[in-house]
Amino acid sequence: MIESPTSPELRKLCDRLSVMTPAAESKTDADAWPHEKLRLCAEAGVYRWFVPVEVGGLGWSESDIAAGYLQLSAACLTTTFILTQQVSALRRVAGTPNEYLRAEVLPNLVTGSSTATVAISHLTTSRRHLGKPVLHARSTVGGFLIDGYSPWCTGGCGADWLVMGAEQDDGAQVLFAAEKSLAGIKVESGNQLMALTASQTGAIKCDQVFIDEKFVIAGPKDAVLSSGKGGGTGGLQTSTLAIGLASAAVKFIANEAERREDLRPTLDALQGQLHELETNLLELAKGVAADTLGCSAQDLRASANSFVLRATQAALVAAKGGGYVQGHPVERWCREAMFFLVWSCPQPVLQSNLCQFAGIES
Ligand SMILES: Cc1cc2nc3c(=O)[nH]c(=O)nc-3n(C[C@H](O)[C@H](O)[C@H](O)COP(=O)(O)OP(=O)(O)OC[C@H]3O[C@@H](n4cnc5c(N)ncnc54)[C@H](O)[C@@H]3O)c2cc1C
């Protein structure tokens, strides 16, 4: 059991994850769900980090969670990303005032013996410009009828539960847990992605799915995701994974620099920036005010996005042509880094990325 982010057991788990075959991240093999890596995480008690002691968890603080995620994402981004989606669902269930869900569904999620994932981004960052909800909820006797689709869900194939959100005509949103086997739910197969294909990310279709009110996590209300914990948009989790991936690239450059003096100035600069990002992340996670720190969660996300692109591409320059050959870790990191340009990006972060690419002030 990993008791804290400084535990040698966490180091051991990360060492194992990083040397296990990266075939699961293969660009073409959509069936390569990382069963074994996730099993190792469950066995090491990773799911327990995120829930309070009174419900069988270890109740890690937000800064300990960030420190743990930094190490996991440097070892295997795909596995860690899948974990974030499962944990997001777990925390939504753990945080609900709904006693039924907490008593009947939560215990197995905490041990990892059953899993849940989220299909909620259409409430915040996806399909918002369409002007009408892609997943519609209608109140009915004893619950809600759900119709439409959720464009994105990671690991729906392997999950027992789907934590989903839908919107009523009046704009109020309802968050609920649906058993994947429920009549009317169809989990589409995962898309071929630029990277992280093994995360099995695809759409969920709902055709007149009845959700009993005992499965409602929150709502109906405006902006249902803004209350409760679950790693929503604008939170620190996305930045944490970006910084973790970047640290793997910086470590690669450090190894090369041991015998290549020309890499030293680049390495020194990147290490300095990495240290600053990690410090700001952990301080924000401890609850230090953005004004005091001179860095908000949103500033951190924009800087982390920029840094992960620069660090992975610097690693490619250092690895030269060999790093461009498929199967080299650096080419995979470069593809993985682009994920942060599209994952859970609120509008100000998108804008900051665009300004950087356009070479204009944000
Ligand atoms: C690999 C991966 C895994 C993911 N996993 C999950 C998950 O497990 N759970 C989850 O809830 N979410 C998940 N997401 C969703 C993610 O967090 C973002 O919400 C998503 O990437 C946003 O992209 P979108 O194409 O849906 O955006 P949209 O905003 O829907 O854009 C789609 C298209 O609409 C057009 N468009 C966009 N904005 C406008 C506009 N203002 N006016 C006119 N046209 C416009 C553009 O042509 C664009 O290509 C995942 C995403 C990816 C890529």
Split at pLDDT 50, 70, 90, the class of 232 is low
Split at pLDDT 50, 70, 90, the class of 68 is very high
- pLDDT, one tens digit per residue, over 112-165 is 789 999 999 999 999 999 989 999 999 999 999 999 999 999 999 889 999 999
Per the model's pLDDT, the better-predicted residue between 229 and 292 turns out to be 292
* 133 and 31 within one domain: no
pLDDT score, position 24:
46
Cα–Cα distance, 39 to 111 (Å, whole number): 11
The Cα angle at residue 214 between residues 51 and 225, in degrees rounded to 5: 55
pLDDT score, position 22:
61
Asked if the model's pLDDT at residue 69 lies above 80, the reply is yes
Summary mean pLDDT of the chain:
93
List the residue whose alpha carbon is closest to atom 39 of ligand 1. 129
Query: Is residue 279 in a domain?
Result: yes
Q: Quick one: which atom of ligand 1 is closest to the CA of 191? A: 1
pLDDT score, position 228:
66
- pLDDT, one tens digit per residue, over 256-271 is 999 999 999 999 999 9
* 82 and 43 within one domain: yes
Residue 59 corresponds to which tokens in the numbers above? 């109740």
Q: What is the pTM of this model?
A: 0.95
What's the CATH number where 180 sits? 2.40.110.10
pLDDT score, position 54:
87
Query: Is residue 359 in a domain?
Result: no
pLDDT score, position 62:
95
Instruction: Give the three-class secondary structure for 276.
Output: helix
* 103 and 165 within one domain: no
Query: Is residue 362 in a domain?
Result: no
Query: Is residue 281 in a domain?
Result: yes
What's the chain's Rg over C-alpha atoms? Answer: 20
Cα–Cα distance, 71 to 282 (Å, whole number): 13
pLDDT score, position 188:
94
Which H or E run includes 284?
Answer: helix 264-285
* 335 and 241 within one domain: yes
pLDDT score, position 172:
97
Cα–Cα distance, 220 to 286 (Å, whole number): 31
Asked if the model's pLDDT at residue 227 lies above 80, the reply is no
Least confident piece of the model among 160-164, 312-316, 336-340, 355-359: 355-359
Residue 347 makes CB contacts below 8 A (sequence gap 6+) with none
* 346 and 243 within one domain: yes
Domain boundary among 111, 141, 157: 111
What's the CATH number where 29 sits? 1.10.540.10
As beta bridge partners, residue 227 has: none
Distance of CA 231 from the midpoint of ligand 1 (Å): 17
φ, ψ of residue 302 in degrees (nearest 5)? -65, -40
Split at pLDDT 50, 70, 90, the class of 233 is low
Q: Quick one: which atom of ligand 1 is closest to the CA of 85? A: 8
**How many domains is the chain built from?**
3
Site residues for ligand 1, CB cut-off 6 Å: 85, 117-121, 125-127, 129, 151-154, 193, 196, 199, 201, 342-344
Distance of CA 350 from the midpoint of ligand 1 (Å): 12
Instruction: Give the three-class secondary structure for 299.
Output: helix
Distance of CA 151 from the midpoint of ligand 1 (Å): 8
Asked if the model's pLDDT at residue 346 lies above 90, the reply is no
Query: Is residue 358 in a domain?
Result: no
- pLDDT, one tens digit per residue, over 292-332 is 999 999 999 999 999 999 999 999 999 999 999 999 999 99
In this structure, which amino acid lies at residue 137? A
Give the pLDDT mean for 214-236: 82
- Given the DSSP bridges, would you call strands 201-212 and 161-167 parallel, antiparallel or unpaired? unpaired
Residue 339 corresponds to which tokens in the numbers above? 């994920």
As beta bridge partners, residue 148 has: 135, 206
* 105 and 17 within one domain: yes
Cα–Cα distance, 100 to 95 (Å, whole number): 12
Cα–Cα distance, 49 to 68 (Å, whole number): 9
Asked if the model's pLDDT at residue 26 lies above 70, the reply is no
Query: Is residue 361 in a domain?
Result: no
Asked if the model's pLDDT at residue 235 lies above 90, the reply is no
HSE toward the beta carbon, residue 131, CA cutoff 13 A: 0
Domain boundary among 86, 111, 136: 111
As a whole-number percent, the residues of the chain with pLDDT over 70 amount to: 95
* 301 and 286 within one domain: yes
Query: Is residue 1 in a domain?
Result: no
Query: Is residue 348 in a domain?
Result: yes
Neighbours of 72 (CB within 10 A): 26
* 332 and 246 within one domain: yes
* 107 and 127 within one domain: no
* 267 and 315 within one domain: yes
Asked if the model's pLDDT at residue 216 lies above 50, the reply is yes
Domain boundary among 82, 111, 140: 111
* 127 and 198 within one domain: yes
Q: What domain range is 247 assigned to?
A: 237-353
Residue whose pair of structure tokens reads 């093994």 in the numeric block: 198
Among 342, 345, 351, 354, name the best residue to mutate to test ligand 1's pocket (greatest count of ligand atoms within 8 A of Cβ). Answer: 342
What's the CATH number where 295 sits? 1.20.140.10
Asked if the model's pLDDT at residue 234 lies above 80, the reply is no
pLDDT score, position 55:
82
* 153 and 63 within one domain: no
pLDDT score, position 150:
98
